[in-house]
Amino acid sequence: VKPKVLTYAERASQCTHSVSRRLLKIMEQKKTNLVLSADVTKSKELLDLVDKTGPHICMVKTHADTLDDFCDDFVEKLKQLSNKHNFLIFEDRKFADIGNTVVHQFSGGVHRISDWADVINAHTVPGAGVVQGLQKVAQGKDIGCLLIAEMSSAGNLATGDYTQVTVKIAEENPDFVIGFICLSKLSSNPALLHMTPGVQLKEGQDALGQRYLTPQEVISNRGSDIIIVGRGIYGASDPTEAARQFQIAGYDAYLARLS
């Protein structure tokens, strides 16, 4: 017998972490499993893009260290947009050092990520200490962490045992880890979210090893929960229309999995 696929609302009620609960509720309310990867290099361009596509997304993903003009005012405006359009903010910093170092990378430096991100992520290359260091900083704040269990790029090493140990670390840290960056469903725990980058409306690849799957393949066939789309949206001639198309494609694929 095929196990019953739970709705976002049903899963929200099973989440102990406030961030995954909030995200699943937004996904249910706005009917979207789309995360915009806003990989543009000027803050004004990023804010304009996010304001236009905001109604279609459940979360925006940033690379703060690729912005030429990152500043506190940008953070303030991004937070205002997240309230206006009801989405979360995910800083894709990919922490990957020993616990003591990530404490400072997460809380300090120019970006002070722990002051503004709802969601962060980490590689598990250093072992569970990276999660413990990040969690120390997140104490008392509403921040959830994703573990990078698989990657979309050709030849990456996040496979096999590495992926399995990463899933184990996630399952052992439910107070902080809310899910994975991955290419397919890795855990049957309904509280853990699966988010997949490398998504376009057609399969293919770029010139630097990125590989693309479709929303249908990622959500319906591979059982992931969330699509992460960058160039498919901000590289389109009409990003708002592109976001709308990805929203529909991703949500239809979710509905197909439910039925």
Binding of ligand BMP at residue 245 (CB under 6 A)? no
Which are the contacts of 165, defined by CB distance < 8 A and separation ≥ 6? 124
Residue selected from 132, 184, 189, 210 as contacting ligand BMP according to rule CB under 6 A: 210
Residue selected from 99, 197, 239, 250 as contacting ligand BMP according to rule CB under 6 A: 197
Rounded Cα distance between 27 and 22, Å, is 9
Q: Which of 11-19, 145-153, 169-177, 241-249 is the region at the interface with ligand BMP (rule: CB under 6 A)?
A: 145-153
Catalogue the active-site residues: 94, 97
Q: Residue 9's CB: how many other CB atoms inside 10 A?
A: 12
The residue behind tokens 């107070």 is: 175
Binding of ligand BMP at residue 228 (CB under 6 A)? yes
For ligand BMP, the closer of residues 19 and 229 by Cβ is: 229
CB of 90 to ligand BMP, least distance (A): 10
Rounded Cα distance between 28 and 249, Å, is 15
CB of 140 to ligand BMP, least distance (A): 27
CB of 173 to ligand BMP, least distance (A): 20
For ligand BMP, the closer of residues 110 and 157 by Cβ is: 157
- Packing angle, helices 43-53 and 72-85, rounded to 10: 0
**CB 223, CB 217: distance < 8 Å:** no
Residue selected from 25, 39, 117, 250 as contacting ligand BMP according to rule CB under 6 A: 39
Q: Binding residues for ligand BMP, per CB under 6 A?
A: 37, 39, 63, 92, 151-153, 181, 197-198, 210, 228-232
